């Protein structure tokens, strides 16, 4: 672990950058815990908005983007609700609710804008992390086809979903994705939607590129450095205790603002910070597995991300999908996820993670979720008993001619689903939740969905919460340049939606 930077001048504890206080060797303006996509995005924003602030990132692993942000630990979908059916639930009367889909898409447009800005300025090479991959939904059976048609009708005229096509015709669907059709029972009712605006994102490559940008501008990144404790001092600054995983030594650093971008490790650290806002929160880990085609020949036969319908009891993010992926410049094909289970909160975490997250304040919510989510538990047990043959059977529902010997199993990242106090019990949530102290001086991110795709709006909202004066004041103009439509709704302005989509596609080298 590297030592901290030399003594210097820093931002004042009041957050007013014009007032500086003398800082000691281990004092920083900002400390970011974890080197995943969230911290990388925040470090990039801060280095643009406040180039002189001292920022340090502590990461417990030997490199960046090695937990959930690693390309093989997530599905790499640029989540924009073009194909994910769980964002458009159907009511008992058959109507499709598109509110969540609009929200997810709006958020992804903001991420695209920030990446496009950085690419235009020459700071990011888009070919290293984002590719056009059409997004498709694919279903079988009459009720599901009717649902998909209703979903299509509800979305097709919205400015954010332009170009969406629907078909029940085998030849049309074969043109979009031949693997879905060849070898399929002719009598089966099928339906699909297709949209060329979809993307595949290598969030690991993006994390590394953003951290490179931030580190070239003075951000310190220290690897093998595990944050073990976070405590507030009498002077209002946060003291972060960091353990060198190489030699076991510990060192303390301080900052007036700390972001816990520790992924699955965030719950423990927020609990240690003692902020009242974390009371009642718990976590339930679900791990994932994917099948990956061993040969690129198979991968090259498919060019789409095809999302289906979730099984009964399956958590929303366990919807099966057959995905084109671009990782390390190569095209791949992946199917899954299959759920797995381990009590670890990080893939490289500890077996005691779940147990040590239990506090008097979250015990009841945890127990309550345990006894009320029978469908989920049944689903998890059924997934844990799957062998290669059964996994291939699930794959064949999408790719009927899949051959078992052509696929290998890979283990994805851990997702820690948020358990939140509700009344006397608790509720299991599948989204993300920013938990911050009332003064915004410490914040952390819990949960994992829609995840990395929404890193930009999540970090912008966090900056607004932590630094409201700067955000509304001296940063406002810069934020408008970095993410022009932040604060507006593209869905309400078709002309702006079209212009923005075309401009970001141009800058990122994506289909328009
Ligand atoms: C199976 C699966 C599929 C997914 N699919 C998608 C998808 O298709 N699209 C999408 O947008 N999102 C997807 N996600 C979600 C996405 O991967 C995450 O939301 C995102 O990567 C989280 O980024 P992060 O920076 O918060 O966490 P991470 O990438 O996990 O980074 C956290 C970092 O903090 C470090 N850390 C933890 N504790 C400490 C500590 N005490 N001290 C120092 N460092 C610490 C970890 O080592 C890690 O490097 C998926 C996730 C999973 C698991």
pLDDT digits (tens, 9 = 90+) for 91-130: 988 899 999 999 999 999 999 999 999 999 999 999 999 9
Decide whether any atom of ligand 1 lies within 6 Å of the 453 Cβ.
Answer: yes
Tally of structural domains, the chain? 1
- Give the pLDDT confidence score for residue 172 in this predicted structure: 98
User: Is the pLDDT confidence value at 316 over 80?
Assistant: no
Q: Which residues contact 449 (CB under 8 A, 6 or more apart)?
A: 316, 317, 415, 430, 431, 432
How many A from CA of 317 to the centre of ligand 1?
14
* Per-residue pLDDT at 15: 41
Say whether pLDDT at 20 is over 60: no
Q: Is residue 95 part of a domain?
A: no
Q: Is residue 15 part of a domain?
A: yes
How confident is the model over 36-56, as a mean pLDDT? 98
pLDDT of residue 376: 79
Q: Is the minimum distance from the CB of 38 to ligand 1 under 6 angstroms?
A: yes
**Residue 309: phi, psi to the nearest 5?**
-100, 145
Cis before 100 (ω within 30): no
Residue nearest atom 20 of ligand 1, based on CA coordinates: 452
Percentage of the chain with pLDDT > 70?
95
Closest CA to 444 of 233, 230, 226: 230
Coil, helix or strand at residue 225? strand
In the three-class reduction of DSSP (H, G, I as helix; E, B as strand; rest coil), residue 31 is classed as: strand
Instruction: Give me the pLDDT at residue 317, please.
Output: 66
Confidence label for 21 from pLDDT (cuts 50, 70 and 90)? very low
For residue 295, being part of any structural domain is answered with no
Centroid of ligand 1 to alpha carbon of 69 (angstroms): 5
Instruction: Establish whether residue 69 lines the binding site of ligand 1, counting it when its CB lies within 6 angstroms of any ligand atom.
Output: yes
Range(s) of the domain holding residue 224: 9-68+203-280+432-508
What residues form DSSP beta bridges with 30?
A: 55, 257
pLDDT given for residue 5 in this prediction: 30
Q: For the chain, give the mean pLDDT.
A: 92
The confidence score (pLDDT) of residue 341 equals 86
Please check whether residue 162 lies inside any domain of the structure.
no
How far, in Å, is the centroid of ligand 1 from the Cα of 146? 36
Query: pLDDT grade, residue 381 (50/70/90)?
Result: confident
Q: Is the residue at 237 inside a domain?
A: yes
- 325 pLDDT higher than 90: yes
Tokens of 114: 């920030």
Is residue 327 assigned to a domain?
no
Q: Decide: 448 in ligand 1 pocket, CB within 6 A.
A: yes
**Can you tell me the mean pLDDT for 57-74?**
97
Tell me, yes or no, whether 167 lies in a domain: no
Mean pLDDT, residues 423-441 taken together: 88
Q: What is the per-residue pLDDT for 23?
A: 53
Identify the CATH number of the domain in which residue 47 sits: 3.50.50.60
Q: Is residue 488 part of a domain?
A: yes
Is the Cβ atom of 444 under 6 angstroms away from ligand 1? no
Predicted pLDDT of residue 459 = 97
Instruction: Tell which one of 72, 83, 133, 263 to mutate to probe ligand 1, the residue whose CB is within 8 A of the most ligand atoms.
Output: 263
**202 touches ligand 1 (CB under 6 Å):** no
User: Cα(216) to centroid of ligand 1, in Å?
Assistant: 23
């Amino acid at each position: 672990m590297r030592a901290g930077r030399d003594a210097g001048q820093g931002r004042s504890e009041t957050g007013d950058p014009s007032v500086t206080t003398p800082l000691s060797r281990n004092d920083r303006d900002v400390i970011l815990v974890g080197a995943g996509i969230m911290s990388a995005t925040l470090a990039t924003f801060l280095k643009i908005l406040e180039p002189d602030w001292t920022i340090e990132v502590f990461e417990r692993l030997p490199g960046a983007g090695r937990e959930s942000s690693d390309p093989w630990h997530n599905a790499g979908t640029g989540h924009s609700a073009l194909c994910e059916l769980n964002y458009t639930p159907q009511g008992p009367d058959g109507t499709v609710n598109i509110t969540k889909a609009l929200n997810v898409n709006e958020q992804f447009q903001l991420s695209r804008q920030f990446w496009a800005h950085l690419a235009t300025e020459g700071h990011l090479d888009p070919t290293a992390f984002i590719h056009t991959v059409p997004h498709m939904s694919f279903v079988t059976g009459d009720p599901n086809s009717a649902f998909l048609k209703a979903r299509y009708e509800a979305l097709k005229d919205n400015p954010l979903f332009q170009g969406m096509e629907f078909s029940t015709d085998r030849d049309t669907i074969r043109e979009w994705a031949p693997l879905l059709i060849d070898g399929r029972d002719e009598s089966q009712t099928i339906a699909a939607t297709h949209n060329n605006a979809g993307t595949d994102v290598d969030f690991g490559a993006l994390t590394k590129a953003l951290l490179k940008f931030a580190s070239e501008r003075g951000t310190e990144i220290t690897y093998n450095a595990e944050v073990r404790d976070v405590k507030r001092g009498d002077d209002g600054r946060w003291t972060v205790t960091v353990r060198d995983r190489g030699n076991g030594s510990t060192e303390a650093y301080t900052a007036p603002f700390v972001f816990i971008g520790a992924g699955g490790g965030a719950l423990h650290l927020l609990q240690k910070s003692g902020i009242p806002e974390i009371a009642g929160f718990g976590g339930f880990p679900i791990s994932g597995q994917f099948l990956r085609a061993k040969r690129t020949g198979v991968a090259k036969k498919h060019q789409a991300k095809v999302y289906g319908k979730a099984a009964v009891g399956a958590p929303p993010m366990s919807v099966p999908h057959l995905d084109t992926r671009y990782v390390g410049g190569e095209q791949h094909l992946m199917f899954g996820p299959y759920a797995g289970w381990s009590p670890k909160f990080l893939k490289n975490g500890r077996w005691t993670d779940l147990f040590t997250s239990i506090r008097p304040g979250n015990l009841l919510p945890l127990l309550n979720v345990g006894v009320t989510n029978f469908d989920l538990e049944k689903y998890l047990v059924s997934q844990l008993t799957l062998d290669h043959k059964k996994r291939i059977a699930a794959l064949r529902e999408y790719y009927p001619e899949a051959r078992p010997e052509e696929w290998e199993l890979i283990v994805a990242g851990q997702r820690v689903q948020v358990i939140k106090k509700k009344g006397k019990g608790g509720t299991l949530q599948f989204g993300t939740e920013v938990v911050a102290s009332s003064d915004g001086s410490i914040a952390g991110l819990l949960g994992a969905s829609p995840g990395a795709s929404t890193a930009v709006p999540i970090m912008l909202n966090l900056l607004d919460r932590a630094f409201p004066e700067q955000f509304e004041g001296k940063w406002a103009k810069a934020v408008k340049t970095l993410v022009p439509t932040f604060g507006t709704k593209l869905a309400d302005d078709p002309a702006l939606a079209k212009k923005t989509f075309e401009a970001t596609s141009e800058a990122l080298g994506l289909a328009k």
